[in-house]
Each structure stands twice: as C-alpha cells, then as structure tokens.
Structure 1
Amino acid sequence: MHQLKALLWCCAVLLCVGEAIGSRAFADESPIYSSMATAQPVWAEHGMVSSQEALASQVGVEILKRGGNAVDAAVAVGFSLAVTLPRAGNIGGGGFMLVHLAKENKTIAIDYREMAPSSAHKDIFVDKEGNVDPKLSLAHGLAVGVPGTVMGMELALKKYGTMKLSQVIQPAIQQAKKGIKVTSSLANSLSHPFIKERMLEVPASKAVFYKQDGSNYQPNEWLVQGDLARSLELIAKHGSKGFYEGETAEKIVAAVTAAGGIMTLEDMQNYKAVERQPVSGTYRGYEVISMPPPSSGGVHIIEMLNMLELYPVGELGHNSAANIHLLAEVMKRAYADRSEYLGDPDFVDVPLKALTDKNYAKHLSKQIHADKATPSAQIKPGKLLPYESDQTTHYSVVDKWGNAVSNTYTLNFSYGSGIVAAGTGILLNNEMDDFSAMPGVPNGFGLVGGDANAVQGNKRPLSSMTPTIVMKNGKPFIVTGSPGGSRIITTTLQVISNVIDHGLNIAEATAAPRIHHQWLPDEIRIEKSLNVDTRRLLEAKGHQLSEKSAMGSTQTIMVTDKGLFGASDPRRADSAALGY
C-alpha cells in the first residue's frame, strides 16, 4: 500500500509539471570518475582532510603522514583554523565532533557547545519596554557564551587520539607566531563594512586584525598573531587549564565584563565538554549517524530523510521543480518541529524517538500535496506519536585505518561578537544569540524558538551544526558537514540525497545548486544558478522564492574500495580537500 501511494504521488507530480521520468543511477552503481561528470573529486590512497582553509588541511595531512590517527589530525586542524580562518575557526567558540572508531566499530558524539554564564536568565536580552534588543545577543558582552573548543579538543585527543596536545597544537603556534599570508578571502571579509565597523570599536580587535592606522591588510601581506601564539603555547604547556584558568581566563572574563557581560572565572573553570549518544536512522539501506541535541541537526536530518524515503526521489529528477517542491515541504515540517521541541537535553526532555520515528514521518507526509505548496501559516509543530553566520566551519578527516572525524565548530556570526580579549588574541563568540530571546521572536538567522530553548544559566543553546557520517555495510561511506547557520541542516541533507538518490559523485553532489526552507519566513531560499523554468514551475505551485547568497561550505570525504574521494565546496575560496 505504501509503495502504491508513493508511485501515485510521483505520477501526480510528473503529470502536473509535464516532466519526463528519467532513469536513476544509484551512487554505488555509478563510476567514481566519469567523463559525464560535471565535477571531479580529489583522490587519496591512505588519508584525507577536507577543510575550509588549505593551510589547515595541509596541517592535518602532515599529522596523518607522521602516523597520527584521524582524531590527532582533527585536533591539529581545529587549532590551525583558529589562526588561518579567524572568522569561524576558533578557540573562543564551541561545536560538535563525531568520532568513528574503526576497530571498535563505534561512533562517539562530543558536545563542546558553549554554555550560558551561570547568572544568565530568560529575560537577559529584553529591554525595559519588554522588547528584545538584538544588539545585546550579537555585539555585547552578554552575547558571549563560555567557550568550549579547547575542552572539546582536549577530550577528543586524550580519549581517542595517539599524540600529545603539545605535538598537534605546534603547527598552529608556528602559524600564529611567524604569520600567515593574507588571502583575498580573508582580506575581503575583514574589509566588509559591517565587520570592520564592529571590530574597530574594540581596541584589542583593531590591534590584531587591522594596521595601526585602521587600514586593511591587503592580499599577500603577512598577518602575525603574537598574542594568540602565546595563548596557544599556554594550552600546549598546561592543557585546558591553560585556557580555563590563569591569565587567559582572567583576560577573557575581563574583556567580557568590560563589554557589559556577566561571565565569571567560576563559569570558565566549571565548563565541561561531554560525550553523548549520536542519533541514528536509516535511509534506503544506509545508516545515517549524526549529532544529538543540543544540536538540532541530527534529529531533523533523520526526520527529513524519513519523509523523503516515502517517495521515489530519484525519479523526480535532480533539482527538478517536483524534487525541490518535495524538499521544501519536508523542510518546513522539520523546522516547525524544531521551534517547539528542541533544546539542551540536560534541561528539557527532547522527544528524540518520536521525532525520528518512521511512522511519524508517514503521518507528516500525509499533509504534503503534490501540486501545491502548504503555506507555513497552516503548518504547526507536529503532534508527536506516543513515546517514552553564518560563520561556522566544518572539516572532515579519514585515516588509513578507517577512523573518521566529522567536526563542526563556530563563533556564530562572522568573527563572533567582534571582541578580542586583550592580550590573548582570542576572538570571542556571540553564541548566546542561538537561544530564544523570547518565544516567537526570530534570532539572527531568522529561526523561531520557544521555551525549550530559553536562556538559562549553564545551559547550552540550540544549534544547527550537523556533523554527519553515512555508513554503508557497517563502514563510513560519507563523512560530511557544513557551516551556514540555519541552512546547515538542509545543506547536509541535499549532499546525502544527491549521492544516494541521484547518483552524483561527491564533487557533483557538493557543487550542485542548493535550496532552503526553514518554515518561517515562508519562502524557498535559492541560489542564483537555479534555472528560470524551474522557478516558474515552483511559483505556479504557490512557493515564494528568494534568491540570496550561496549556501554552505561542505567539506566531504567519500570512502570506497577504490580509495578516498574528497570534495571541498567551491563556494568558498581557499578551501581544500587534501590527502596522501
């Protein structure tokens, strides 16, 4: 009965839009390299790193060549990106890491998300008139959450790595001390009027990222970060205590306090990174493993895939109007649920099993019409079945033993709060904006939340970061993830579907045009490469389209019996998939 329903739905769609059914090639039936392919992946025999900055990717590859495993390389890349990609790489922010151990056939989720200071409360961003003041959660001391990156990297390395912290952090220290050559991408980001205005207001930020007269660094000039090198050396010598205690902690707290924040030394000292059980599901015979709350990414990746599995997606045609219509309708329903049910699992009861149940997906799919869009105003968080910066960055690592790391971390907005803690060289996050300042009021990415994600002391804000590993026959097949704020989840979803449903190689799956719908606002965000005929067909179904900047920067590795195939997103300059 279920198969009949799916077939009838497909036929209705195709009759409506007048598109011909094409044959579908599954990923494992199509060649890795092909003269028919529109993009080709990078190949490596032993190990591979794909990150948003080529210098950091090379650091990871060198660690692998020296006999380090995927975790050793991932930690080295994380610290290197804090130097080479300051708008997103960090030690003043936080994130999530998935670690797959080949020998044990086990995947671990490490949560090193930032935490709210202990005295934070739900009305912290509300002014005297009862209105939300967005500046307080974006460019103010109150915007800064207690950073988690250093603790998370240390936890991963101690438990699952093979090298010492002082070894893997050394390349980053040298990059900060000797300087990096400014790329055109770095120069352009620092010269952006919004970024520059914000950074020049903070003397310590100006001192690090601009010349003495306030002018911009130009491409091919050298950026030396001496204070950051000193901070990294303290971590190399003392481990996480060199960050959460002593002079670095004192300078971070002083900077936050001077900017109007409430973080204390006790908040720094009490921070803990934690291990969690990954969320997992299945999609057309593949196992999908991703990050659990306080990331919303894994839950909703699986929720959306469960709905897509009910339809013959491959036969709709890649990025056809029928395919995009279905994707948008699925996305709307997942993001409506996100607004109601997701939060920090240490503070709220998140109904994981109910949201990721395939029967719940069947229930939601009954609301989807083949020939017309459902207005978001008519979509509410689903009735669950009974059950017990846009500037983030992602990188993926696979080693010669089959271990894999998928890591996403962030400062939230580009360059975070814009506040460098004087004397440390450390940019501080504005991650507190990821809480719901007030139920129903959108955050900086337009996401609407509720009480489950309200501000509370020591609580971790909800995130869209979605480090993901797709397993095939019990082994890693796709290791992926992306930055992109609220678009992270849908970007990751499309990479997976592009490979499994449409038979694209990993480079094609990465480069393909993307769309996004997050329930509110009620529009499909599209990239400019989506063709005009498809746009008209979508508008005829009742969709509102909004063309905006490119979405995401996926860093992906595909593992095959022919070797490793990597793809670094062409949407961002300077990124690279490198191997040996």
Structure 2
Amino acid sequence: MGYRRGKSLSNDMEKQSHERETAVGTAGMVVSPHPVATDIGEKILKEGGNAVDAAVAIQFALNVVEPMMTGIGGSGFLMVYDNKKKDVKIYDGHTRAPKGVHPEMFLDDNREVIDFRKRSTHGTAVGIPGILKAMDTALEEHGTKSLADLIQPAIDAAESGVQVNWVLEEALQNFHYRLGKEAKAFYFPEGKPLNEGDSLVKEHLAKTFRILQNKGISAFYEGEIAEAIVANLKEEGGFMTLEDLKNYRLTVDEPIWGEYKGYKIASSAPPSAGGLTVIQILKVLEKFDLSQYDAKSWEKYYLITEAMRLAFADKIAYSGDPEFSDLPIKGLLHDDYIGERAKAVSFERRNDAIDYGNPWKYQEGEPKQVIRQPDDMEKSETTHFTVVDQWGNIAACTSTVEHPFGSGIMVKGYGFLLNNELTDFDANPGGINEAQPDKRPVSCKSPTILFKDDKPVLTLGSPGGPTIIGSVFQTIVNVIDHKMNLKEAIEEPRIFASSGPLIEWEPGISMEAKGEMESKGFEFGDEPSRIGNVQAIQIDHGKGRLYGAADSSREGKAAGITENQIKS
C-alpha cells in the first residue's frame, strides 16, 4: 500500500497506515488528506456540529497543514447534500478574473505563449479567491456553529506549530522553484528546506485567521487583508484591485446529474468541466459493460483510456464559464451523441482519429470556434475532503491554490499563498475559455455524490488537475463494476489519458496488459507516477454503517464516530 509514497513500508507501518486510512462509523465520518484536519473535523461532529460546520473547520486547518495544495488565497467547489430537503447544491467559490485581464495576457511581445513556469508564478496568474465566500455562504445557510468557533482549531494549530510531513517535504523538494521571495524565506529558513518532522509555526497565518474570526469573511475582501493582497500583487505586476476583491460574486449552482447502472450521480457543474466529463465517460463505458472484464485486464484499460480520450477531446473544445457562453451540456450527455462517440472504440487498436464531436446537433445553440492550446502545463495539485454527519447531511469539497504553492506569492505579514488559477484560461485567445474580466476559468474539480433509490450511498472526490476526472470515475467503476470495497477501489492502480496517445500510470497496473496496450498503439510514460488522492465515504443504509477511506498517496485519515461519542 505504501508504494505510491515512493517509500517501502514495514509491515507494522503498513498496518498503522491502513488503520489510519480506513474507519467505520454509525453517526458520522470525516475523511481528509491530513490527520490534523481530520481530527479537527471529527471534534466538530462530536461537539454536535453538522457536515458544513466540520467542512469549514477542515478547510481552515488544511491551509495550515497543506499550504501547497489549498488555502484562503485559493478557490473551491463545496457540494452540500441537505438530507432534510433531499437537495444537492454546489457553493461555487471558483476564482474570478480581475477587471484588468484581457485575452492576450499570456502572450509575449511576439504573440508567442509565455513559458508556463513564468506565466504561472507571475502576479497576472492570480485570480480573485473564492473559497472563503463559498464556506461563509454555506455556513450561513446550513451551519449551526459560529465562524469564530470553527476557525479556532486552525489558529491553535498554527500557533502551536504543526509537524512537517513527508508530503510537504516532497513538495518543497520538487517545487521550490515556484516559491517567491517571501515564501522561500518562510519554507527555507536560513536557506535550508524544512524536513519531515520539523515543527512549523505560522504566526502570520494565525494573525490573519484572528482578523477573520473577529471581523468575519468580509474582512478578506475589504480592509487590511485585501489591501495587503493588492499591494503584494502590484509589486508582482498583477492586475487585482480593491474593487475586484470587494465585488467578488459567488454562485450557488445545481449539480450536473447523470446515471450509471442504476445509480444517480450528482457532480460539479460548469465552470468546472469535471462533473460533466466524469458522467460522459461513465455513459460511454455503460455501452460496453466493464463488469465483464477483470480489473487489471487490457480490455478494461483499453475501454477507460478510449472513453477518457473521447470525453477529454470534447472537454477541451466545449468547456467554459456558462455566464459567458452557451455550453452544449444537453448535447454532450444525449444518448444518441454518446452512442455516436462510442462507435469510435474498436478494441483493435488506439483510434488515431479521436477528436471532439458535434454535440450541437442534439441541442439548440451556436458553437464557438475551437482554438488549439499549447500542451505545456504542469500537473496541478489540489485537495479533497468529505464529511457525513449524524443527520445524514453530506459536505464534499475540492479546494485549491492550483499548482503546488499556487503562484508562489505569499502575502507579506499575513502568511498565506495566492493561487495561480488564471493560468487555467486558454493561453491562445479566441476560444470559449479565453480570459475576460469577471470570468471563471475552466476547472476539473469533481466533488461527487452517488444515489441509489434516491438515497446517497457514496461521496468522493480527488485532487490532480485533469486527472481528478480519471481518479473519480475509476473509483466509481471499481465499486460498481468490480465490486471492490471502498479502500480497494481507491488503492487499485489508476491510469490517465487526455485526448492524445500518452498514458500516465501508477505502479501496480498489470505489465501484461500494459504490453498488450502498447501493441495496440498506446504510449506509456517512462516512469509511473501518483494520480490523484481520493477521499471517500460509503453509506450502507441497510446496516446503518458509514465506511470512510483515505488514499495512501498522502497522509490521509478517516475518522468514524458513533452516537455515544456525540455530546448532547
């Protein structure tokens, strides 16, 4: 199980990891990628809080322990299932573009695309952060505890210090080049990187949290925090103004709904392309019935690869912000269109001609010109966590600062990093996802809930940029088609392909099947890599049990609670 960490584990350590990463509960469950965050969420549930209360506390905690993945300078999609109303909503705290952006912002004087590392660590990469607004709005509508109380555990952790774990150590080793001057000084004290086991005290971040605790989330969008953000970005050549921050708009969205083998699926809606693409892939796979193939067979790998390539070709062509463009959502999920796309899968070899289709045949509207983009982006990182409470409510959140450490710009004196999410806009202008003021770039975040007989039975999500989609749908088919338990479904080695021939792969996939795939024209990366970090909860209504599982690719923890642990 520990192979994905790049470290071999002793049997005792492997057993401890498995015990930390799995849990059973009857009255609540928390799963997050870090033990400190999970413990904080568990404490909130035991104190009688609900899923949204716990999610807010976890998000603040993850800013302390997973700063390279998420934080108040970033964005996120928070999916909430209200069990009383039987209703699912998405609090879309996705970043928006400042008024100063323009479609050619990522081109140099020669109209060539600026190198990704350069454009993603510049002030112009930073979008208006929305995760705090999402958390605040969800708390207002669903929460039972005060924001001040939910921030306090993260303040305690920041002030007392948290241990650097192997995930942060590895991120500092691999992505130090993304850190700006302020962040470099903090994470490389006296020029030396922090190592696993070092204690990290975050006084400036605690100060920022105390301001939010006393003045509310509006203090981030107006006042001294906002002024510090704008001043820092001005020094870095950014566009953002105080007016941009003050005018940030959150939307509360309906999910995208789909079906797979008798399960209803609710997932993220545009401007995230994640949910739509997950459902489109599953609809293509349903035409072939994956359950007849072994989980490690070449036929399974072949089908999921071609389904991904078809859906990603469409995603690249037709994803955008629905406030700015009509999107062919109905057409992309139309049964006749899915049938048409599925005909591209032959089993004989890789289909060299896979490209985007024409979903506009199946709905009214006008397609926009498709502009090809450079394939120079590095893999982004994010985080996902999920909670079920004693009342059956669910919160599932995927939040991010985009690439590891975001833009690398740390707000001086306030201890948090700013995102680089505007690099999710097209670098080459003219398409549906070009940069425009107040627009939201395309995302792949896919917080997802599955229902059976109108009852929620599984909630999951993952980080990983485009690979989020691959991680989420593969976990779903492992549970439904291959009848794996939740931990097995998460740990089963994954593969990922976008629209091209190259396949990313994790250690543990069948080498025999890999060879068969290569004989059919597929190309595999030279080395395996980690793909995603799934956190999930399964709900067994018959047994009254909750099963939580965290992915071993980080230091995740699942915590289940029982009725007698909840304070009355």
Q: TM-score w.r.t. structure 2 length? A: 0.90
Q: Which amino acid aligns with 2:522?
A: H
Q: Which amino acid aligns with 2:535?
A: Q
The equivalent position to 1:67 in structure 2, one of 13, 34, 48, is: 48
1:153-164 alignment runs, 5 A limit: 153-164=135-146
- Once the two structures are superposed, what CA deviation does each residue of 1:522-564 show, in whole Å capped at 9, x if it has no partner? 2122112212211111112221222431100000000113311
The equivalent position to 1:462 in structure 2, one of 416, 430, 442, is: 442
The 1-side partners of 2:312 and 2:559 are apart by 34
The 2-side partners of 1:345 and 1:214 are apart by 46
Assess, with a 3 A threshold, how the Cα gap between structure 1 residues 41 and 181 changes in structure 2: closer, same or farther: closer
Residue 226 of structure 1 aligns with which residue? 203
Residue 272 of structure 1 aligns with which residue? 249
SS in 2 for 1:537: helix
Mapped contact 1:120–1:457 kept (Cα < 8 A): yes
The 2-side partners of 1:423 and 1:459 are apart by 29
The 2-side partners of 1:284 and 1:405 are apart by 24
Residue 324 of structure 2 aligns with which residue? 347
The 1-side partners of 2:178 and 2:362 are apart by 48
User: What displacement does 1:387 show?
Assistant: 1.4
Residue 548 of structure 1 aligns with which residue? 528
1:25-424 alignment runs, 5 A limit: 41-133=22-114, 134-192=116-174, 195-199=175-179, 201-202=180-181, 204-211=182-189, 213-375=190-352, 377-388=353-364, 389-424=379-414
The 1-side partners of 2:283 and 2:107 are apart by 38
User: What displacement does 1:95 show?
Assistant: 1.1
Give the RMSD, CA atoms, in angstroms: 1.7
Instruction: Could you tell me which runs of 5 or more consecutive residues in structure 2 were left unpaired when the two chains were aligned.
Output: 1-17, 365-378, 562-568
Stretch deviating more after TM superposition (534-543 or 53-62): 534-543
Residue 526 of structure 1 aligns with which residue? 505
SS in 2 for 1:205: helix
The 2-side partners of 1:463 and 1:381 are apart by 21
Instruction: Could you tell me which runs of 5 or more consecutive residues in structure 1 were left unpaired when the two chains were aligned.
Output: 1-36, 440-449
SS in 1 for 2:224: helix
The 2-side partners of 1:242 and 1:207 are apart by 26
User: What displacement does 1:378 show?
Assistant: 4.2
Assess, with a 3 A threshold, how the Cα gap between structure 1 residues 536 and 110 changes in structure 2: closer, same or farther: same
User: What displacement does 1:370 show?
Assistant: 2.1
Residue 437 of structure 1 aligns with which residue? 427
Stretch deviating more after TM superposition (488-497 or 348-357): 348-357
The 2-side partners of 1:66 and 1:401 are apart by 14
The 2-side partners of 1:438 and 1:248 are apart by 33
Mapped contact 2:98–2:241 kept (Cα < 8 A): yes
Assess, with a 3 A threshold, how the Cα gap between structure 1 residues 364 and 228 changes in structure 2: closer, same or farther: same
Residue 445 of structure 1 aligns with which residue? none
- Once the two structures are superposed, what CA deviation does each residue of 1:312-365 show, in whole Å capped at 9, x if it has no partner? 210011131001101111111110111111101111111111112222111111
Mapped contact 2:328–2:359 kept (Cα < 8 A): no
Mapped contact 1:406–1:480 kept (Cα < 8 A): yes
Mapped contact 2:381–2:464 kept (Cα < 8 A): yes
The 2-side partners of 1:379 and 1:164 are apart by 50
The 1-side partners of 2:107 and 2:194 are apart by 38
User: What displacement does 1:386 show?
Assistant: 2.4
Q: Which amino acid aligns with 2:286?
A: E
Residue 496 in structure 1 maps to residue 486 in structure 2: no
Residue 476 in structure 1 maps to residue 453 in structure 2: no
The 1-side partners of 2:443 and 2:156 are apart by 32
- Once the two structures are superposed, what CA deviation does each residue of 1:195-226 show, in whole Å capped at 9, x if it has no partner? 32432x41x21343231x12122332211111
Residue 15 of structure 1 aligns with which residue? none
Mapped contact 1:360–1:384 kept (Cα < 8 A): no
The 1-side partners of 2:392 and 2:178 are apart by 44
User: What displacement does 1:405 show?
Assistant: 1.0
The 2-side partners of 1:41 and 1:83 are apart by 23
Alignment length (residue pairs): 526
User: What displacement does 1:136 show?
Assistant: 4.7
Mapped contact 2:21–2:550 kept (Cα < 8 A): no
Residue 508 in structure 1 maps to residue 488 in structure 2: yes
Mapped contact 1:44–1:565 kept (Cα < 8 A): yes
Mapped contact 2:78–2:396 kept (Cα < 8 A): yes
The 2-side partners of 1:198 and 1:284 are apart by 43
Q: Which amino acid aligns with 1:476?
A: P
Assess, with a 3 A threshold, how the Cα gap between structure 1 residues 187 and 540 changes in structure 2: closer, same or farther: closer
SS in 1 for 2:112: coil
Residue 549 of structure 2 aligns with which residue? 567
The 1-side partners of 2:196 and 2:293 are apart by 45
Mapped contact 1:99–1:404 kept (Cα < 8 A): yes
The 1-side partners of 2:314 and 2:538 are apart by 31
Assess, with a 3 A threshold, how the Cα gap between structure 1 residues 384 and 323 changes in structure 2: closer, same or farther: farther
Mapped contact 1:567–1:577 kept (Cα < 8 A): yes
- Once the two structures are superposed, what CA deviation does each residue of 1:4-35 show, in whole Å capped at 9, x if it has no partner? xxxxxxxxxxxxxxxxxxxxxxxxxxxxxxxx
The 1-side partners of 2:443 and 2:137 are apart by 20
Residue 536 in structure 1 maps to residue 515 in structure 2: yes
The 1-side partners of 2:176 and 2:356 are apart by 40
The 2-side partners of 1:557 and 1:576 are apart by 12
Q: Which amino acid aligns with 2:234?
A: T
User: What displacement does 1:48 show?
Assistant: 0.8
Mapped contact 1:40–1:505 kept (Cα < 8 A): no
Residue 29 of structure 1 aligns with which residue? none
Q: TM-score w.r.t. structure 1 length? A: 0.88
The 2-side partners of 1:188 and 1:130 are apart by 36
The 2-side partners of 1:164 and 1:541 are apart by 58
Stretch deviating more after TM superposition (108-117 or 537-546): 537-546
Mapped contact 1:136–1:142 kept (Cα < 8 A): no
Mapped contact 2:337–2:362 kept (Cα < 8 A): no
Q: Which amino acid aligns with 2:508?
A: S
User: What displacement does 1:578 show?
Assistant: 1.2
- Once the two structures are superposed, what CA deviation does each residue of 1:63-89 show, in whole Å capped at 9, x if it has no partner? 000111101001110111001111112
SS in 2 for 1:167: helix
